[in-house]
Amino acid sequence: MRIDHFLPFLAKPKKGQATRRRSLLYRKIATLLPSGLLSVPHPRKVGLLRRWLRKLGPSWQSSPLRRIIQGLCFVLFLFLFFYICWPYRAHPAQTHSGWTPLEVDVETGRILLAGEGGGSDEIPIGSQWHAVDTGQAKNAYLGRFDVASTSTGQVVLFPADEMPPPQLELLSFSFGPWKLSPHSPEHWPSHYADTFQAENRIPVEVFLVLDPLVSLSTALASRSWIWSLTAAGTILVLCVFVPRGFCGYLCPLGTLIDFFDWAIGRRVKRFRVSPTGWWVHLKYYLLLGILVAAGFGVLLSGFAAAIPVLTRGLLFTLAPLQDGFARGWHQVPAINGGQILSILLFVGVLALGFLKPRFWCKYICPSGAVFSIGNLFRASERKVEESCIHCNKCVEICPFDAIKPDFTTRTADCTLCQTCGGVCPTHAIKFVDRWDITRLKAINVPPTGETIMGRRGFLASALGGGVSIAAGAAAAWQFKASHPLLADHQLPVRPPGSVPEPAFLEQCIRCGECFKVCPNNVLQSEGFKQGWEGLWTPEVVADWAGCEPSCNACGQVCPTGAIRALPLEEKRHARMGLAILDAETCLPLAGKEDCQLCVDECTAAGYDAIEFIRVHTQIGDDGQALEGSGFLAPQVRAEACVGCGLCQTRCFAVNAKDKGLLWNSAIVVATGPDREDRISTGSYKALADQRLEHSRINRNTSTSPAESYLPDFLDR
């Protein structure tokens, strides 16, 4: 079994030596490309393709297929992160307002509408539209209509369905203005969810779920099955045939490190270290410490796993630039200390290239350590034949320090990138099954100085393992101890569909994908509010923006299930918290002035969870309330509120930030028992239906306020 796909060194065969047979991949490519692009070994003639590759660099010339795959994966990662996770291409269905009925023929159903600003060009003939009479108090729904014809500023409609007499009567007495919409009034907006579902053909979290440390540590910390374990297992099985193939071919962080080393790292050599040192096996000790901490229920892999480090680094460095240039700098939230720490960690990973090219991948990366351990079960490996002339070219070009001084292979580190095969002048390197032992060179020639682990090596490894175990346990204890004792209502408002808080902290990998896909930056990175344990986890910042009822993307991109992937209908019923009114600062409740911002916002979102009550009424001599006295004040219907925060956003933006009437929003979303739904399984809609039914019974049997119900069904 030969799996050579490198571009062999162009060498003239020696006299009496048979010409090496080209690999199957090379022969297939040769049938597709013009002969002028290819090289000819005898007589030695360098082709145009090889010349182009030489200009790109020695690794491109040696193993172009690997470099192409690497580049495509990096481009795919950037496309998924910066384009598919960009929610602002979604737009709600266009509606047309201001249409006046000029003619309404009840017998034939013909309706002639005229628009003040035109707009008939955007209403195609044959399409169907729903009509609402906005001139009536409750926006009366008129029905569904077919567009028969259009002209400049006018549209002719006919009913699409048979109309009952009451609806015909309503239609005949309608004077407008009408609003035309492609959806019925009962239809909730779903443009964010629809757009994301249509574009997310390749899951944006694909690289996260392929990082096995993400799934393994999360499953261990939460002591539960994580769905991404299947993907992690698949990539580990594939790496049986291409050992550490993820590191050599797929990992976008490795590609970015390569680019940094080429652009910057190679120009600064004063910090270079030797190829041997205490750091050589650091990735294994780091992996052990992470798994030990996970065993204590603390997830440290978000600090060191390859893909979370990359996604979070790009989220806090380049994503704000994308937001600022595309939408305006006022749309970029302020940076906090936790974000600065993440940026320093990301920059530090790249800066390790000053010590040695790809230092992180070679010696530090715990995700790579998982694949290195998987190499024990490899089915293929790099072999060196006896024709090796000890030129050392393979050692110099190897990006993973996987070649010993005797030019044989450190199998735990080899990624089968095959770069070394392309620089070997004698074609002594081959990539075959691990049991192929034909014509191999002698081992330890020249002497490597490496020996089988002796007593000193065993003691050093045992000491390192003991330190890793102790460090992992100490880190877990420190993370738990640094957790502040917050009151229930002070705990962060989590995204809709989040599992219970203890499980959430054990399953959230801190990758930041949910931040990137969230419209208007509703979800932001938590700082040190919950100590180290809550660092970089998502929280709803309702003063900044409210959760869009038409979006369910955060759960769709979560790679570990910390946020459940909910259908939009379920997501709309998932309570994140409960809106609480401050009677001392709410303008109408405090008797200062009328205000209905929160009511309007909640009604527009479709929740109808805030209703009016009259307060501060004056009583006349007859004991009756004086007409026109008092204020209409909001009251939260707790059974209908989902804690989306839209009301808080509106109150803060207008009354606090714009008008300066308040220091903070007078309505705030709070968490705590009976205020949020945090379930790992089950239906949020079923819980909402139970709340509504319970409230209906309470309203019929008592005069208690809407918030006095007892949600015993949540005690589970």
pLDDT at 622 over 80: no
* Residues 571, 670 share a domain: yes
pLDDT at position 703 is 46
Percentage of residues of the chain with pLDDT beyond 70 = 89
* Residues 272, 225 share a domain: yes
* Residues 210, 183 share a domain: no
- Residue 472 confidence class, pLDDT cut points 50, 70, 90: very high
Q: Has residue 246 been placed in a domain?
A: yes
Q: Lowest-confidence range among 31-40, 132-141, 437-446, 497-506?
A: 31-40
* Residues 235, 360 share a domain: yes
- Residue 668 confidence class, pLDDT cut points 50, 70, 90: very high
Domain boundary among 378, 393, 412: 378
- Residue 485 confidence class, pLDDT cut points 50, 70, 90: low
**Which of 169, 7, 196 has its CA nearest to residue 87?**
196
pLDDT at position 716 is 29
Average pLDDT score over the chain? 87
pLDDT at position 282 is 93
* Residues 349, 247 share a domain: yes
pLDDT at 17 over 90: no
Q: Has residue 63 been placed in a domain?
A: no
DSSP characters over 152-188:
TTEEEEEESSPPPHHHHHHHHT----EEEESS-TTPP
**Cβ contacts of residue 81 below 8 Å, gap of 6+?**
204, 311, 314, 516
pLDDT at position 202 is 92
- Residue 707 confidence class, pLDDT cut points 50, 70, 90: very low
Domain boundary among 357, 378, 399: 378
491-508 per-position pLDDT tens digit: 899 999 999 999 999 999
Q: Has residue 43 been placed in a domain?
A: no
pLDDT at 290 over 80: yes
Q: Which of 30-34, 361-365, 707-711 has the largest mean confidence?
A: 361-365
* Residues 657, 562 share a domain: yes
pLDDT at position 28 is 72
DSSP helix/strand/coil, 385? strand
pLDDT at 239 over 80: yes
> If you average pLDDT over residues 456-472, what whole number do you get?
83
Q: Which two tokens stand for residue 700?
A: 């019929």
Q: Has residue 467 been placed in a domain?
A: no
Q: Lowest-confidence range among 63-67, 530-534, 536-540, 626-630?
A: 626-630
Q: How many domains are contained in the chain?
A: 3
384-428 per-position pLDDT tens digit: 999 899 999 999 999 999 999 999 999 999 999 999 999 999 889
pLDDT at 18 over 60: no
pLDDT at position 185 is 79
pLDDT at position 451 is 64
Domain boundary among 359, 378, 397: 378
* Residues 706, 642 share a domain: yes
* Residues 707, 565 share a domain: yes
pLDDT at position 92 is 85
Q: Has residue 399 been placed in a domain?
A: no
Distance CA(365)–CA(353), nearest Å, equals: 13
* Residues 256, 367 share a domain: yes
**Cβ contacts of residue 454 below 8 Å, gap of 6+?**
none
DSSP characters over 389-412:
----HHHHH-TT--B-TTS-B-TT
> If you average pLDDT over residues 116-133, what whole number do you get?
81
126-135 per-position pLDDT tens digit: 999 999 988 8
Q: Has residue 89 been placed in a domain?
A: no
- Residue 711 confidence class, pLDDT cut points 50, 70, 90: very low
> If you average pLDDT over residues 297-310, what whole number do you get?
93
pLDDT at position 697 is 83
pLDDT at position 480 is 84
Higher pLDDT, 422 or 485: 422
pLDDT at position 708 is 38
The CATH number of the domain holding residue 123 is: 2.40.30
Q: What is the pTM of this model?
A: 0.87
Higher pLDDT, 448 or 528: 528
pLDDT at position 695 is 81
pLDDT at position 696 is 82
Domain that holds residue 706: 488-619+627-714
Dihedral sign, Cα of residue 512, residue 513, residue 514, residue 518:
positive
Q: Has residue 20 been placed in a domain?
A: no
pLDDT at position 19 is 58
DSSP characters over 288-336:
HHHHHHHHTT---HHHH-HHHHHHHHHHHHTHHHHHHHHH-GGGSPPP-
pLDDT at position 715 is 34
> If you average pLDDT over residues 297-321, what whole number do you get?
94
pLDDT at position 704 is 42
* Residues 533, 609 share a domain: yes
Distance CA(659)–CA(653), nearest Å, equals: 9
Q: Tokens 């007078």 map to which residue? A: 666
Distance CA(254)–CA(248), nearest Å, equals: 8
pLDDT at 347 over 90: yes
* Residues 284, 174 share a domain: no
Contacts 24+ apart (CB under 8 A), 698-705: 705/635
* Contact present, 362 and 401 (Cβ < 8 Å): yes
* Residues 216, 126 share a domain: no
- Residue 111 confidence class, pLDDT cut points 50, 70, 90: very high
pLDDT at position 618 is 66
- Residue 620 confidence class, pLDDT cut points 50, 70, 90: low
> If you average pLDDT over residues 676-681, what whole number do you get?
92
Q: Has residue 289 been placed in a domain?
A: yes
